[in-house]
Amino acid sequence: MIKEAILACLRDHAERYVSGAALARELSVSRTAVWKAVEQLRAEGYAIESATNRGYRLCAVSDVLSEPRVRSYLKNPGITPKVYASVSSTNTLLKVMAAEGAPEGLALIAGEQTAGRGRMGRSFYSPADSGLYMSLLLRPTLPAAEAVRVTACAAVAVAEAVEELSGLPAQIKWVNDIFVGGRKVSGILTEASLDCESGGLSYAVVGIGINTAVPAGDFPPELRQIAGAAFGQERPPELRCRLAALVLDKLMDFYGRLDDPAILEAYRRRSLIPGREINILSPGREPVPATALAVEEDYSLLVRLPDGSLRRLNSGEVSVRL
């Protein structure tokens, strides 16, 4: 299509103007067709400047989620991305597809969720244009009790990808939250279906939400003390496409070697929980105070309770006591 060809040409001449006449000659179309295609690209969210006698220029701030661009950055051929401008929930949609037999490696990526979900039944704030929301379908041969390994691998994948693209250190709050600069920038929700005959997993859907920027008008009041953005004002072009591909590539790599001690070491190195006073949270129950001691080899959290007894947490959620 004309607009894809124009977009490719503007990318090839990043931050430089390309005249409408030159684009028309290269594509063998009229200048009116070039103008219409540029307007279509602008309507899709691409920041394209125009100047009299100079032409068009693609601005570096353009950060439109595009399926072809995500594919261009992906390295693992086993990942099949599908990009949506807006969905109710990537996890909800992908679970339906998984139950219908969708293959491992299918990844749903969205720029907005209207009914995003987090852990413990909470909603996940997922506004348009300031975040990346995606879910990856896996079909692991794992006992259900070891599903936490998949979530831990996803946490390391997100942390490493954010560090590579932002240059900022990322930390992990057991088991599934990513923090940058003391603020939560990402949450992970893994949902699985149990195969009753084998006792293993029929599938696992790994949902990942990342705040790439502070949303217009800031976060809602109830989130402002904890939520933050993984990136500042200076962001690489096509950030969300690059980030989606990098996270998915890393996650699939780690998934192929779940027992690799290097992944555990990477998780432990970024863990912000050990040595902290915490509360153990369970739905419908009062928080239980404890001291976090260590992340164990199976990614469980070893804690000491007030009576001095030790307990290993294999699932659930904790908060840091201030």
Tell me how far apart the alpha carbons of residues 243 and 250 are, in angstroms, rounded to a whole number.
11
Q: Which pLDDT score, from 0 to 100, does residue 282 have?
A: 85
Determine the 3-state secondary structure of 266 from DSSP: helix
Half-sphere exposure of 241 (CA within 13 A, CB side): 17
Q: Which pLDDT score, from 0 to 100, does residue 61 have?
A: 56
Q: Which pLDDT score, from 0 to 100, does residue 303 have?
A: 97
- What is the CB neighbour count within 10 angstroms for residue 164? 13
Question: Which amino acid would we find at residue 226?
Answer: I
Q: Which pLDDT score, from 0 to 100, does residue 14 have?
A: 67
Could you tell me the pTM of the whole model? 0.85
Return the closest-CA partner of residue 66 out of 89, 47, 45, 50.
Answer: 45
**How many helices (H) and strands (E) in the chain?**
8, 14
Per-domain boundaries in the chain: 2-58, 67-270, 277-320
67-270: CATH number = 3.30.930.10
Q: How many residues does the chain have?
A: 322
The CATH number, out of the four listed (2.60.120.460, 3.30.830.10, 3.40.50.10210, 1.10.10.10), of the domain defined by the range 2-58: 1.10.10.10
Sheet holding 277-281, edge to edge: 310-313, 301-304, 288-295, 277-281, 317-320
Q: Which pLDDT score, from 0 to 100, does residue 8 have?
A: 82
Q: Which pLDDT score, from 0 to 100, does residue 201 have?
A: 85
Task: DSSP letter for 228, please.
Answer: -
The CATH number, out of the four listed (2.40.110.20, 2.30.30.100, 3.40.50.620, 3.10.310.30), of the domain defined by the range 277-320: 2.30.30.100
Q: Which pLDDT score, from 0 to 100, does residue 195 have?
A: 74
Tell me how far apart the alpha carbons of residues 220 and 119 are, in angstroms, rounded to a whole number.
18
pLDDT tens for the chain, residues 1 to 322: 788 888 888 877 766 899 988 988 988 899 899 999 888 888 776 778 888 888 898 876 568 898 988 999 999 999 999 999 999 999 999 999 999 999 999 999 999 999 998 775 677 899 998 999 999 999 998 888 788 999 999 999 999 999 999 999 999 999 899 999 999 999 999 999 987 666 678 899 999 999 999 998 899 999 999 999 999 877 777 899 999 999 999 999 999 999 999 999 999 999 999 999 999 998 888 999 999 999 999 999 999 999 999 999 988 889 998 7
